[in-house]
Chain A
Amino acid sequence: MRFAITMFSLLAIASIIGTVLKQNEPYNNYIIKFGQFWFDIFEKLGMFNVYQAFWFLLILVFLIVSTSLCISRNTPKILKDYKGFQDRIREKSLLSFKHSYQFPVKKFSVKKTISFLKSHNYKVKYKPVEGNGDLIVAKKGDLQKFGYIFTHLAIVIISIGGLLDGNLVFKVQELIGAKQIQLIDQPLSKISLKGRMSEDNLSYRASILLSEGDTKTAAILRAKEGYLVQEIPFSITLKNFNIKHYSTGQPKSFESELLVKDKKTGETINKTISVNKPLTYKGVTIYQAAFEDGGSQLDLLVWDLNSSQPSFKMNSQIFKNNKLTFENQNLTLEFKDFRKFNILEVDENKEKKPKPTNVGPNFLYKVRNESGQAKEYQTYQLPMLIDGKYFFMSGMRNSPQEEFKYLKIPADENLSIEGFMVLKSLLNNPKKVQSAINKGIKTSAFTTSGKKEAFKLGAENIIGAFVGGGYNSVIDAMDLNIPDQASVADKEKAIKTYINIIYLVSQELVRDYQFKNKNDIVFPANDAPRFIQDALTAYSDSFFYGVPLYLELKEFNEVQASGLQLTKSPGQFWVYLGSILLVLGIFCMIYIQEIRLWIFRKKGSNKLIVSLATNRDRIDFDQYAIEFKDKIKKII
């Protein structure tokens, strides 16, 4: 028994390790975390998959063996106790019990006493002791001891069930070299027999990723760093995948419409599964486990943020790459993901608490240059309401560990990105800029032509710096022009003036454009100053956007993929059976009180001895014994 308790403790400690150390992560994460030296040691000890480690299974086996031994040792005794009565007890020992009472009797009716005891659920045995007197032995609560058998048997059954569902079969096959974990991604049909588990595999938890319209005939088993192919007795087709949403936008259900076809008989089943509503077929249960994009098609418009080049159309698909020559660079656009619904907590208004809202579709892509370096982008199709204004949001990051840094482009009068694009084209058009500056000078208070000329030159330089590199390069240019001894206050004043000049020129550009395109109002009439300021900020920020390549999502055709899990679990029945037994056993052990009772009258004596005993000392028993003795006294 001490051994069993030790096993229990070991099991607990091993389990704790498994919760503290994240299990089944990619091995690279572990190497980064622990260094190569500890990684090798931990890997050998099976720390990254504790619950399937060799030693963990060994603990389970020991637990089963030692608990079984406990059962086999104690069961005969318990059964004997159950069948028999302790009727070979001496008067002396009867009197030594804590609850032993004597009282005088005149006429002792054995029959009446027995029926009284029976009415109180006692099992009774009457034994006339030859030449000695009458002994009635009674007992109840026998089942308490069965609680011991039930609970211990339950632990054995549950452990066996657990082992049945473990991957012991594969472990043995791997050990003798019959099977091998596959490390290289390749089409499932090309994988050799060594990397395939047959349909008859006793138990597994495999997964299948299906795009809408796809059919698959085998599943994937994740194992350590690689995978195995799990053959299944049927094929699965995903006809449709559906996400339903609450009115608040959060997902309400994930549903896959499946067509399952038996490989042998050709029998087909149509069934929609969802979370909490799996389908069981041929002993395999199919669960809704995950979802992702299945290769959606995107119609894009490509913009150059830092030139007056017009945009052009591009078609792309998720999981496909597009090649592009942009500003003399050969770029590869790798499209990674598309999401139709995105629930974000956005500060729509400063007064209100942020609420989760659906902000519409976004897509994720990488831009890789010739030297192989990539930046990752996440762009939302629709403008988001932030602090009362609409912005197009596009995030950029250099590596997946970083957070996205967002470029906020203000939406124009028509909630489109066009206004901004018009403005950036105008700024990149030197002729337009020049005429805007000239117009500004005409209406200005400059008196001499020398001053006018100086201002014109200055303004052209400032705009030129801004167009070429944003506010930062304006400040850099200023540092070159302004003498070092100028005070901080002077510098700040100069910056303010510069920013104002950029703003005024932009305002003039906008005004001029709007005057010439009266039918096509893009700039907000009431809110122009705010729009221009935001647009200039966005333009300036675009120099931190990596490549000044903006993809505007025009149309999309969503194709979804559903992640299914396929489980074969023959141990489940045994685990459930063991569980029922366990509850039953605990109930017996805790709530059934075993009581033994003796009533003895010595021949010729007018004294009756009543003794009660229990195997567990409890306060309520003391009370019970006193009350029950009084009841016996009454009926006699």
Chain B
Amino acid sequence: MLRNIKDKFMNYSFGLLLACLTIIAISKFNNFMDNYELIILISSAITFTWMGNVWPNFRKLFIYTFLLSFISIYFYKGSLEEIELNFFLKYFLSSQSAIMWMTALYPLSLLTYWIYLFSKQDFYGNLATKITWIATMMGFVGLLVRWYESYLIGIDVGHIPVSNLYEVFVLFCLITSLLYLHYEEKLAIKKLGAFVLIIITAAVGFILWYTFEKGADEIQPLVPALQSYWMKIHVPANFIGYGAFAMAAMISVAYLLKDKGIIGSYLPELNVLDEMTYKAISIGFIFFTIATILGAVWAAEAWGGYWSWDPKETWALIVWLNYAAWLHLRLIKGLRGTMLAWWSLAGLLITTFAFLGVNLFLSGLHSYGEL
């Protein structure tokens, strides 16, 4: 009973907090937003309130992330030079440092998950989960502060950090780990971090290479085609799709190992793994569908046609067809087991090609993240 009251109290106060933040944002920055952006702001506040209420750990993440971001912004004092001068910015809270912390913590949590897998001691499992949460928090702080930093470069340069390959790779890590953390908590199985964190660590590897080899972390102003409120919706929705598909593939790896009797005693039951793969793919599919449709609506506005058979569009269609077939076989034909696990793993290849390969090998309208 008491717990119930406490929960309710937390829910309401979180909602109230977000309402206040939204009102402050609107009153301060109304002039910089068009109506669509206003709608996006308010609906995000509602979405985050809802997410925080059904998932208290998300609420925690949200609060800490914003707290740290505000502290960071306070340290900036409105000047980029502070990054070098201020100790906390230089080593912890500037966007670049926060993202570097993220890139250090994800591999660490992968390691801890593996220790947990073989030691079977809950201590390590809990530790791994905590590290993943902190890495995710640092990543979000990094992106939010980067958003602020972009406005320090020039008031007209400022934009949401989902506009190039570097930024969306960070986003990919964050969304994949959030999805994973959610399922880990909801299904009360902890053992799959050792697999899901592999793909996140691989993405981290790419981010590091991209940063140090190519200097991709530099903030660039938006090309005219990207200057639209649609970017705020299209890109994140797409990455929920990519993240979920990647997670599904990693769970399928666990399924195949268990099926072959390799480290089987350390893994959940086959039907649980199967169900998780399905859940991941279905949530990914619905977001990917929405993202592709929204992309089409945006394309109709920016490029003069909702579909131009641009390589990225076409590969999005191929990814969509692939998972549509997967779901079709499972839902309508009732197919289960190894074959679907292999398929979902192969799906990752197709998804990766759509996400990265198109930028590497093919050119087209979506050439924002060239390597």
Contacts and interface: CB of A to CB of B under 8 A. Distances in A.
A65 interface: no
Contact of B227 (A5, A276, A576, A616): A276
B358 interface: yes
Given A275-B227, A575-B306, A586 B311 contact: no
B231 to A, nearest CB: 10
Given A15-B318, A16-B318, A248-B157, A583 B221 contact: no
Interface string A280-313: 0000010101000000000000000000000000
A287 B156 contact: no
Given A12-B317, A19-B358, A276-B302, 10 more contacts: A12-B321, A247-B154, A251-B224, A253-B224, A274-B224, A275-B224, A276-B227, A287-B304, A572-B300, A583-B286
Contacts of A589: 327, 331
B181 to A, nearest CB: 19
Contact of A619 (B271, B285, B311): B271
Q: Could you say which interface size class chain A belongs to?
A: 35 or more
B33 interface: no
B42 interface: no
A51 B309 contact: yes
Nearest to A13: B318
Interface of B: 153-154, 156-157, 215, 220-221, 223-225, 227-228, 271-272, 275, 282, 285-286, 289-290, 293, 296-297, 300-307, 309, 311, 314-315, 317-318, 321-322, 324-325, 327-328, 331-332, 334, 358, 362
Contacts of B224: 251-254, 274-276
B322 A248 contact: no
Contacts of B154: 246-248
B172 to A, nearest CB: 22
Interface in A594-628: 616, 618-619
A569 B286 contact: no
A175 interface: no
Given A20-B362, A579-B293, A619-B271, A5 B325 contact: yes
Contact of A582 (B157, B227, B289, B304): B289
Contacts of B309: 15, 18, 23, 50-51
20 contacts: A1-B332, A5-B328, A8-B321, A9-B325, A15-B317, A15-B318, A16-B314, A50-B309, A246-B154, A246-B156, A248-B221, A250-B220, A251-B223, A275-B227, A276-B301, A277-B301, A287-B302, A582-B289, A583-B293, A616-B331
A280 to B, nearest CB: 11
A162 interface: yes
Contacts of B228: 276
A345 to B, nearest CB: 11
A1 B333 CA distance: 11
B156 to A, nearest CB: 6
Nearest to A618: B275
A587 B289 CA distance: 11
Contacts of B296: 575, 579
Nearest to A151: B324
Contact of B297 (A252, A289, A567, A576): A576
A576 B300 CA distance: 11
B272 A619 contact: yes
Interface string A495-513: 0000000000000000000
Interface of A: 1, 5, 8-9, 11-12, 15-16, 18-20, 23, 50-51, 148, 162, 165, 205, 246-248, 250-254, 274-278, 285, 287, 289, 353, 565, 567, 569, 572, 575-576, 579, 582-583, 586-587, 589-591, 616, 618-619
A250 B221 contact: yes
Given A248-B154, A278-B304, A586 B227 contact: no
B227 to A, nearest CB: 6
Contacts of B285: 586, 590
Contacts of B271: 619
Top 8 A-B pairs ranked by shortest CB distance? A275-B224, A287-B304, A19-B311, A565-B304, A579-B293, A590-B282, A246-B221, A51-B309
A469 to B, nearest CB: 43
Contacts of A576: 297, 306
A274 B228 CA distance: 12
B314 A18 contact: yes
Contacts of A51: 309
A579 B294 CA distance: 9
Nearest to B283: A590
Contacts of A287: 302-304
Contacts of B358: 19
A276 to B, nearest CB: 5
A170 B256 CA distance: 52
A562 B73 CA distance: 42
B133 to A, nearest CB: 25
B366 to A, nearest CB: 11
